Chains A and B, each alone.
Chain A
Amino acid sequence: MTKPVFQRPKYLKNVPFHYCPGCGHSIIHRLIAEVIEELDIGGITIGVPPAGCAVLAYDYFDVDMGEAAHGRGCAVATGIKRILPDRIVFSYQGDGDIAAIGTAETIHAANRGENITVIFVNNSCYGMTGGQMAPTTVLGQKTTTTPGGRTAPMHGTPIDLSQMIALARGSVYIERTSVHSVRHILKTKKALMKAFTAQMNGKGFSLVEILSPCPTNWKLSPVEAFAHIEKEITKTFPLKVIKDEIDADRQGPP
């Protein structure tokens, strides 16, 4: 008998992804499923998918999944987690979902220190709706609603939601990673592992922002899109641990 060296993670269903070629969601889904399996929390995990490209995430993860309206992931996750505090609850949200329409829900969930994990996929555009400007669209980036490129006077500068969340006292772990290379994919997995573990230990709000390629809307090949993250996107959104207070001595409940 041969030992498999690579196979579908236990908590991904055996269905093909609908994502575009070169899209980062497929990689990120896989990483989350691997982390759920390795932490052995598949039977107690509840996921909250967003509106956006990952809206069909409930068809892929083989854990309980409850759909939220656009931007409301953190509010729905809050409701679930407060009723079932011993379960593991994560929301999966895009940049438009979390950093535009759902900014309030996200900041306040973090500020309350809700013991949930947020996966924030930043591809610097509204992918599902056809590539419009996102709050995270970088300066100069052309989108269908910034045909001349994003300019600060006209459109404002890209929002750094993760930094804003880090200011919220209830957040304990915020890291920005990327999936544009194997090294960064492995780093992303480590960050996810850390975020879910923080929740398992009741530490509070954790968020992993993942820079993700959108070759379709960036009008680049998948390989070019990976390079674009490395060269361009990380200038605005540098990869780093933004906050790590998992082991900090906290005064009273977060």
Chain B
Amino acid sequence: MADKVLMRGTHVIAESAIRSGCRFYAGYPITPQNELPEYMAEAMMAIDNATFIQAESEIAAINMVLGASMAGARAMTSSSSPGISLKQEGISFLAAQELPAVIVNCMRGGPGLGNIAPSQGDYFQATRGGGHGDYRSIVLAPATGQELADFTARAFDLADRYRSPVVLLIDGMMGQMMEPVVPPEFVNEADMPYRNWILDGARDRPSRIIKSLILDPAKEEEHNWKLYRKYENITKELQITEAYQVDDARLVVMAYGTAARIAKGAIKRVREIGLKVGLLRPLTLWPFPARAVEDASRFVKEFLVFEMNTGQMVEDVRLALKHRSEVHFYGRPGGVVSTPDEIAKVITSLYYRLHLEEEQ
């Protein structure tokens, strides 16, 4: 068992990426994620076949990642909300060309230039594809330092397994916070999946093409359905949640990332005064863990969704519940970070308003 080290979130992701075999990083400076490329720049100097490029733009960075991925490397870029908007064209191409890549979005307050405070305003953009066309990216929402480490490693595996872009959706709070972490094991090149599709020169094989232009609508439709079947498989195979004190709960709070940690603190407080409240925390945002929500709805009739935005994931919760349970929402957009006490008050007030303290 490796020793625990105290690291900030951005460094955890960078170190975990390198340990996971990431050999290409391109990015462009933007707050609040700059410590990630800075760490990569330093760490990659010590690795023979690793490339770090500070690109001229977010657009160039994602397209460099696309080229590196074509050439068979585990590749990553990172940015923050406005920069991620610029990368969307490239992410759409990655999805269309079925190229693995890991994209870190350290979300900040928005829209527009917004601010650099922690926010969750990019949920729709991340989970609905974000760029043009009919595609999805796998979206992971770690909430602790250890999860940043584990999910970075997992992101590279998932990207390879499904040949798809994978988004790590965090915010400045997750990125800056220092926590004890056991970094993932180093992955050997030999343990990575064999890529029989890359462009490395047609020496002893027929030449290959990686492209997304499909002029014949019938063939483009076929390609869309092929991607869709892949997304169906991912939806079946990859729904991850954490359930905390849900078993006896009369009210279930749903939140992810930083919001989930605040919510957990709030739940600990209201449990102390006897309120039966639990937390259902999605760790995959796409695919959205609809199964777990549906299961919970058999026992729980009241859900409270807490997000650091004006209400985005709440739509997926409603879709999953299909009106079987009531969905309430509390949101703080724009980079405002609630305290556990604030959320505890929201929970308590809702709990009594709904008469959940009454024995049913």
Residues of A within 8 A of B (CB): 42-46, 48, 51, 55-56, 58-59, 61-69, 72, 75-84, 87, 104-105, 107-108, 112
Q: How large is the interface on B (under 10, 10 to 19, 20 to 34, 35 or more residues)?
A: 35 or more
A78 to B203 Cα, complex, angstroms: 21
A87 to B200 Cα, complex, angstroms: 7
A-B contact pairs, 11 of them (CB 8 A): A64-B199, A64-B208, A65-B199, A65-B211, A68-B67, A75-B64, A79-B24, A80-B67, A81-B67, A104-B60, A108-B55
Please report whether the interface of chain A is mostly helix, strand, loop or mixed according to DSSP. Answer: helix
Q: Choose among B59, B64, B200, B210 the residue that contacts A84 (Cβ–Cβ < 8 A).
A: B200
Check if A83 sits within 8 Å of B59, measured CB to CB.
no
Residues of A within 8 A of B90 (CB): 69, 72
Residues of B within 8 A of A69 (CB): 63, 89-90, 93
Residues of A within 8 A of B209 (CB): 58-59, 64-67
B208 to chain A: closest residue by CB:
A64
Listed stretches B5-13, B69-77, B157-165; interface member: B69-77
A9 to B237 Cα, complex, angstroms: 48
Check if A66 sits within 8 Å of B63, measured CB to CB.
no
A251 to B17 Cα, complex, angstroms: 34
Chain B contacts with A in 82-120, Cβ cutoff 8 A: 89-90, 93, 97
- Given contacts A78-B67, A82-B24, A104-B57, A66 and B210 within 8 Å (CB-CB): yes
Tell me the smallest distance from the CB of A33 to a CB of chain B, in Å: 12
6 extra interface residue pairs, beta carbon distance < 8 Å, beyond A46-B200, A64-B201, A104-B57: A64-B207, A65-B211, A69-B63, A75-B64, A79-B65, A104-B60
B49 to chain A: closest residue by CB:
A83
Check if B67 sits within 8 Å of A45, measured CB to CB.
no
Check if B211 sits within 8 Å of A79, measured CB to CB.
no
B72 to chain A: closest residue by CB:
A83
Residues of B within 8 A of A61 (CB): 207
Residues of B within 8 A of A108 (CB): 55-56, 60
Residues of B within 8 A of A46 (CB): 70-71, 199-201
Check if A67 sits within 8 Å of B199, measured CB to CB.
no
